[in-house]
Amino acid sequence: MKRLGRQIRRAGGRASLNKVGMGLRWAALVACVFLFADAPSAMGQAAAPQTEGIKIDGHYGPYLPTDASKDGYRADQLIDVVHWFMIALFVGWGIFFTYCLVKFRARPGHRANPEHIKAKPSKYLEIGVAIFEAVLLLGWSIPIWASVKNDVPPPNDPHAVRIRVVAEQFAWNFHYPGPDGKFGKTAVERINTATNPLGIDRNDPDGKDDIVSGELRLPVNKTIVCEILSKDVIHSFFLPVMRVKQDAIPGMRIPVWFTPVKTGTYEVACAQLCGNNHYSMKAIMYIQNQTDYDAWILEKCKPPEEFDG
């Protein structure tokens, strides 16, 4: 028990803890021990919302998952082409390898013949490999990456949906600017894990209608721009069905964009080890039609009563 307590204190950083906070933490710790399967919500640590029982759409099998995005097919094509290339090389090598093992195995009457073997076939193989890799780079990977990095909708594009994704141990916070389209100011001093995890200033006119949600709700067929941030350690924003992955690095704000083309319920995963409950840091992404999405925005943008500003 004591060791756990010390560990938790360290996980909470070197900031000094006041006694009331300590008492609350101990009480929460005891509760925690009996709630083993849950992500602990004690100690001010954020917990991912309960998601058991929510049905996830899409096919997840031994190969790539469902692609629910407009542009994911490009990376999928590259993965397909590379794998065919790999299989071709492996089978080619394998055939020659097996042939040698059988034809030149030690047996009575057989001798090694070390005379010089022509270098040409292997030279052609090397050159062929090099050329094909150049094709993969220039024909697929570099153009796709350039698009991923550069085709972010410009700030004045009215059709793009902008969201700030703020990761923390161990939950995702999706910060919507609300109907005014402007993000409110945030400050570390205002942070309260339970009521105001991002420290939004509700007195700021831009911040009045901001939404902070544990769910990622998006309209279908619109380009979404997510700016990825982190409050504490490195996380990684991973949307398997959108072929999106971007590390959330504290101190940085990194945009990703994608265009969902299928409605449905999908998962948001954390793809970088971020601590003990990294595995449970899941969020649900709801791709909805425009009407439902607009209704949700309007419903959520009213400030909650118990907000402490």
Partner 1 sequence: MSGHDHGSGRGGHHDHEHDLHHELGFWRKYVFSIDHKVIGIQYAVSALVFLFFGFCLMMIMRWQLAYPGQPVPIIGRFLSDAVAIDGVLRPEFYNALGAMHGTIMVFLGVVPLLVGGFGNYVMPLQIGAPDMAFPKLNMLSYWSFFVGCVVMVAGFFVPGGAANSGWTSYAPLSVIATTGQTMWLLGMVFLITSSLLGSVNFIVTIIQLRVKGLTMFRLPFFVWAQFVTSFLLLLAFPPLEAAAVLQLMDRLAGTSFFMPSGLVVSGVPQDFVGGGNPLLWQHLFWFLAHPEVYVLILPAMGIVAEIITNNTRRPLWGYTTMVYSLVFLGFMSFIVWAHHMFITGMGTQISAFFATTTMIISIPSVIILTCLIITLYNGYIRFNVPMLFALAFLPMFAIGGLTGLPLGLPASDIHLHDTYYVIGHFHYVVAPGTIFAIFAGIYYWYPKVTGRMMNPALGKIHFVLSFIFINTVFMPMFFQGLAGESRRLYDPTVYEHGVQMIGMRKMSSWGAWMLGLSQLPFILNFFMSIWAGKRVTNDNPWEATTIEWLAPSPPPHGNFAKVPTAHRGPYEYSVPGVKTDYFPQFAGAEA
Site for partner 1 in 201-240 (CB under 8 A): 231-234, 236, 238, 240
| 214 or 275: CB nearest partner 1 | 275
Q: Which is nearest to 174 in space by CA: 271, 283, 309? A: 283
Selected range binding partner 1 among 13-21, 155-163, 209-217, 297-305, rule: CB under 8 A: 13-21
Minimal distance, residue 149 CB to partner 1, in Å: 5
Q: DSSP assignment, residue 56?
A: P
In whole angstroms, give the CA distance from residue 294 to residue 298: 6
Q: DSSP assignment, residue 192?
A: B
Selected range binding partner 1 among 57-65, 208-216, 218-226, 293-301, rule: CB under 8 A: 57-65
Say whether residue 105 binds partner 1 (CB under 8 A): yes
The edge-to-edge listing of strands for the beta sheet with 254-258 is 211-213, 171-176, 161-168, 224-230, 254-258
**What are 233's two structure tokens?**
């350690």
Minimal distance, residue 174 CB to partner 1, in Å: 17
Q: State the pairing for strand pair 216-219/244-248.
A: unpaired
For residues 112-131, which are near partner 1 according to CB under 8 A? Answer: 112-115, 117, 119, 122, 125-126, 129-130
For residues 244-283, which are near partner 1 according to CB under 8 A? Answer: 244-247, 249-252, 254, 267, 269-280, 282
For residues 157-196, which are near partner 1 according to CB under 8 A? Answer: 168-169, 188-189, 191-193
Say whether residue 20 binds partner 1 (CB under 8 A): no
The answer for residues whose C-beta is within 8 angstroms of residue 196's C-beta and 6 or more apart is 190, 212, 307, 308
Q: Are 214 and 49 in contact (CB under 8 A)?
A: yes
Work out which of 24, 29, 82, 220 binds partner 1, going by CB under 8 A. 82
| 284 or 297: CB nearest partner 1 | 284
Say whether residue 96 binds partner 1 (CB under 8 A): yes
Say whether residue 142 binds partner 1 (CB under 8 A): yes
Helix axes 142-150, 72-103, angle to 10 degrees: 160
